[in-house]
């Protein structure tokens, strides 16, 4: 059964002290519904991670349906750490495949900027297993991906400069994106000299905390962007469970499944959004998704191949690093950017883009969701 | 496409200081997988409400898949307030209908007894709309259902005694249920004289806080209990939005849809689990589900018709009131009891039960999920 993205909406990402979690959610939903020409909506699925813990607000599904006047339709929230948005979209795809729905509104939202950094860190740590000795020993997500970076350096010969090149590239992309959180220029030197977060990851290597929302309407009714694949896989919930630190099994598995479903390979993809929660993650995941050989992703970065102007354009939105990372919204914001690309209306437009891939990660590689979109209009 | 409940598992509900949220979840899942004869599981869906806010533990989907050794399969958590468990089950049904999965493990879990009553109240209030003046004025869920009860009394002539009869009936059912939270006897006088929570609801009219988990395995592979319908509807997120205080639109809608899907009516149902978060809720929902005329549910209670020995047996498990209400687990625990009924192995067994109905409510009537099960073995 074919299905399509018929509408998209997104708030600016960043600091929104004058917005509530509900007003952000509503803004993105209203825009997506208008963009889809106000179809009848059969269900609402919301991706959100920390609404309950830091904003005392759950039932976002019912709130959206009520306040948008959509009637007594099924609604829910889904959670899968930082992959909550991508998982929400995949649940909508399954709902349509099931025959229960024709058209589904999918939204992602997060409000994180009203709390302190330590409160954010604590809330995000809910994406680790409480019973792991790693969490109790003080491991955080920057720590986890910092360990991966050091191992990557050891095995491949990559250096901090390669990570900085990823951060700089994504910043330069974000400068063209009016919805991005960080649009001020940066230099390689500034990035390399920035405050260390966890060795070797500096400030620019880490995605920020962000407020924001994004929404899409998907439907069986034909429109110009077809969903060619929607896949998901799981990986380890603790670092010590990994056979190989540099293998993000869920990313590889969800990518392979997506290529099979879509009947194409990484060489067919024109534009890509990868979950760059850290600069290191973008490189490893670009390898796991088959765009580069294992251990060679950093070389592609050095050669400029992953820039919007390169042959494997990654994170033309600015990515999590510079577009921003309101957790539940991220997976949907990736789709927003890729639909703009396929419509020929994107910041950092890739000329003639026809096939696009989004990959959304949760936890220590615990969740990965891949969507492949195809321009058919 | 037909599908079946092939395995069930459940922990005792109550106070589990020696268990973690993960150990409860694992215990229920392992039991359900064994009961299903250890099939290959294609996805895991977990219903949970306050794991993030009061236990700093999200990613319950990935944790279950990892610790059960199920491989890199898709997993997620779903939230819809107190209907989280029922919604999780419905998402699994849609996943199977979509053709993506053959067999899905669905679990619900909550850990609430380690925190204070005021912390529980605050966490549960995340199931109200933050921006409603009702929440800011201090309305809580007992307050909401207390208002409904007073209105019901005013319109129908029912009294506190009728609520007490519901509480007493469910306690008497729970006394036969080895997994129930409250198995000590109570009397009508004791219930009527108990501490007032919010007028007219006394302590026994309100479901308790509970720790616990329940799990089911559902599959396309035939077994003795078929899922004849799985439906969901939404209602208002604020009391002031309701046209009629005594109309729980989501319950009525989800019930009607379920009867249509299953091709039967309330008169065909042999045994029922209704979401009795408060004694009043059981009566109103029994009317909305068509078991009694509007405004007459309390008469059926007085006549003993809703006892396990009556002609419309409701909450033979003891219900939320006495079996307990670990929020995310409740919708799955209802299925656990009904499958036991259809297997002829339940506490308070209804002789020859063939058709069973479960109704799971969330928020101020914001979510309602109905499942109809049929014995086919």
ipTM of the complex: 0.97
pLDDT (tens digit, 9 = 90+) per residue, B202-224? 999 999 999 999 999 999 999 99
pLDDT at position A377 is: 77
A145 to chain B, closest Cα gap in Å: 18
Which among A123, A126, A233 has the least Cβ separation from residue B74? A233
- Cross-strand partners of A274: A359
Neighbour-count burial of A122, counting CB atoms closer than 10 A to its CB (0-12 exposed, 13-18 middle, 19+ buried): middle
Gap between the Cα atoms of B45 and A336, Å rounded: 27
Gap between the Cα atoms of A212 and A10, Å rounded: 8
pLDDT at position A248 is: 96
Interface test with B, best of A26, A47, A52 (most B CBs within 10 A): A52
Stated pTM of the model: 0.98
Which among A53, A56, A234 has the least Cβ separation from residue B65? A234
> Touching check for A256 and chain B: CB below 8 Å?
no
Give me the mean pLDDT over the B106-114 stretch.
98
Contact A56 B53 (CB under 8 A): yes
Runs of H (alpha helix) within chain B: 21-35, 51-55, 60-67, 84-97, 117-124, 133-136, 141-156, 160-174, 188-193, 249-262, 279-288, 297-302, 319-322, 327-343
Residue with tokens 């519901």: B166
Residue B163 pLDDT > 90, yes or no? yes
> Touching check for A119 and chain B: CB below 8 Å?
no
Complete DSSP assignment for B224-284? SEEEEEEEEEE--SSGGG-SSTT--HHHHHHHHHHHHHHT--GGG--EEEE--SBHHHHHH
Contact A76 B78 (CB under 8 A): yes
Give the pair of three-digit tokens for residue B45: 């869906």
Which residues on chain B are in Cβ contact (under 8 Å) with A132?
none
Give me the mean pLDDT over the B46-72 stretch.
97
Give the pair of three-digit tokens for residue B1: 């496409």
Neighbour-count burial of A349, counting CB atoms closer than 10 A to its CB (0-12 exposed, 13-18 middle, 19+ buried): middle
> Touching check for A241 and chain B: CB below 8 Å?
yes
Gap between the Cα atoms of A330 and A81, Å rounded: 11
Which residues on chain A are in Cβ contact (under 8 Å) with B100?
94, 97
Which residues on chain B are in Cβ contact (under 8 Å) with A249?
72
Which residues on chain A are in Cβ contact (under 8 Å) with B241?
66
Number of Cβ pairs < 8 A linking chain A and chain B: 205
pLDDT at position B377 is: 77
Residue B54 pLDDT > 80, yes or no? yes
> Touching check for B47 and chain A: CB below 8 Å?
no
Which residues on chain A are in Cβ contact (under 8 Å) with B55?
130
Q: Which residues of chain A have pLDDT under 70?
A: none
Q: What are the percentages of helix, strand and coil residues in chain B, rounded to 5?
A: 40, 20, 40
Taking CA atoms, A253 is separated from A284, A289, B256, in Å, by 14, 9, 41
Q: For residues B111 and B54, is the Cβ–Cβ distance under 8 A?
A: yes
Question: B321: closest CA among B202, B236, B215, B214?
Answer: B202
> Touching check for A360 and chain B: CB below 8 Å?
no
Q: For residues A166 and A301, is the Cβ–Cβ distance under 8 A?
A: yes
Gap between the Cα atoms of A144 and A156, Å rounded: 18
pLDDT at position A268 is: 98
A175 to chain B, closest Cα gap in Å: 33
Give the pair of three-digit tokens for residue A120: 């954010």
Q: Give catalytic status of residue B325 as yes or no.
A: yes
Which residues on chain A are in Cβ contact (under 8 Å) with B362?
59, 62
> Which H or E run includes A243?
none
pLDDT at position B211 is: 98
- Cross-strand partners of A51: none
Taking CA atoms, A186 is separated from A22, A171, A174, A181, B346, in Å, by 33, 7, 11, 14, 67
Gap between the Cα atoms of B336 and B317, Å rounded: 9
Give me the mean pLDDT over the B240-245 stretch.
91
Give me the mean pLDDT over the B324-330 stretch.
98
> Touching check for B247 and chain A: CB below 8 Å?
no
Q: For residues B215 and B108, is the Cβ–Cβ distance under 8 A?
A: yes
Give the pair of three-digit tokens for residue B89: 């089950």
Report the interhelical angle of A279-288 vs A141-156 (nearest 10°): 60
> Touching check for B76 and chain A: CB below 8 Å?
yes
Q: For residues B308 and B137, is the Cβ–Cβ distance under 8 A?
A: no
pLDDT (tens digit, 9 = 90+) per residue, A227-277? 999 999 999 999 898 999 999 999 999 999 999 999 999 999 999 999 999
pLDDT at position A370 is: 98
> Touching check for B140 and chain A: CB below 8 Å?
no
pLDDT at position A348 is: 98
Give the pair of three-digit tokens for residue A375: 């321009």
Which residues on chain B are in Cβ contact (under 8 Å) with A237?
59, 62-63, 66-67
In A73-115, at which residue ranges do the beta strands (DSSP E only) sit? Answer: 75-79, 103-110
> Touching check for A318 and chain B: CB below 8 Å?
no
> Touching check for A104 and chain B: CB below 8 Å?
no
Give the pair of three-digit tokens for residue A304: 């400029």
B13 to chain A, closest Cα gap in Å: 22
Tell me which chain A residue has its CA closest to the CA of residue B55.
A126
Taking CA atoms, B282 is separated from B113, B264, B289, in Å, by 24, 22, 10
Tell me which chain B residue has its CA closest to the CA of residue A234.
B72
A177 to chain B, closest Cα gap in Å: 31
């Amino acid at each position: 059964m074919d299905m399509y993205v018929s509408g998209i909406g997104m708030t600016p990402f960043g600091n929104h002290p004058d917005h509530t979690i509900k007003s952000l959610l509503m803004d993105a939903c209203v825009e997506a519904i208008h963009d889809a020409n106000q179809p009848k909506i059969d269900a609402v699925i919301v991706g959100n991670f920390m609404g309950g813990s830091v904003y005392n607000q759950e039932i976002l599904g019912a709130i959206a349906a009520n306040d948008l006047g959509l009637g007594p339709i099924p609604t829910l929230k889904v959670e899968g750490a930082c992959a909550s948005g991508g998982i929400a979209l995949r649940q909508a795809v399954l709902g349509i495949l099931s025959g229960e729905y024709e058209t589904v509104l999918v939204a992602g939202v997060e409000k994180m900027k009203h709390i302190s950094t330590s409160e954010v860190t604590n809330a995000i740590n809910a994406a680790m297993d409480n019973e792991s000795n790693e969490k109790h020993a003080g491991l955080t997500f920057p720590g986890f991906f910092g360990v991966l970076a050091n191992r990557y350096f050891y095995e491949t010969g990559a250096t901090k400069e390669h990570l900085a090149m990823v951060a700089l590239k994504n910043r330069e992309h974000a400068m063209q994106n009016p919805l991005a959180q960080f649009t001020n220029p940066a230099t390689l030197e500034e990035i390399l000299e920035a405050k260390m977060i966890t060795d070797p990851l500096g400030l620019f290597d880490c995605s920020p905390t962000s407020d924001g929302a994004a929404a899409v309407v998907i439907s069986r009714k034909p429109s110009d962007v077809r969903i060619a694949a929607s896949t998901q896989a799981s990986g380890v919930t603790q670092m010590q469970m990994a056979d190989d630190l540099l293998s993000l099994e869920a990313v590889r598995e969800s990518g392979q499944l997506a290529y099979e479903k879509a009947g194409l390979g990484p060489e067919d993809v024109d534009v890509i959004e990868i979950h760059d929660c850290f600069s290191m993650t973008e490189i490893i995941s670009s390898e796991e998704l088959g765009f580069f050989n294992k251990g060679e992703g950093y070389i592609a970065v050095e050669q400029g191949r992953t820039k919007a102007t390169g042959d494997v354009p990654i994170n033309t939105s600015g990515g999590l690093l510079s577009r921003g990372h309101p957790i539940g919204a991220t997976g949907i914001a990736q789709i927003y950017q890729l639909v703009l690309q396929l419509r020929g209306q994107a910041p950092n437009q890739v000329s003639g883009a026809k096939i696009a891939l989004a990959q959304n990660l949760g936890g220590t590689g615990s969740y990965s969701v891949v969507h492949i979109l195809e321009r058919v209009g």
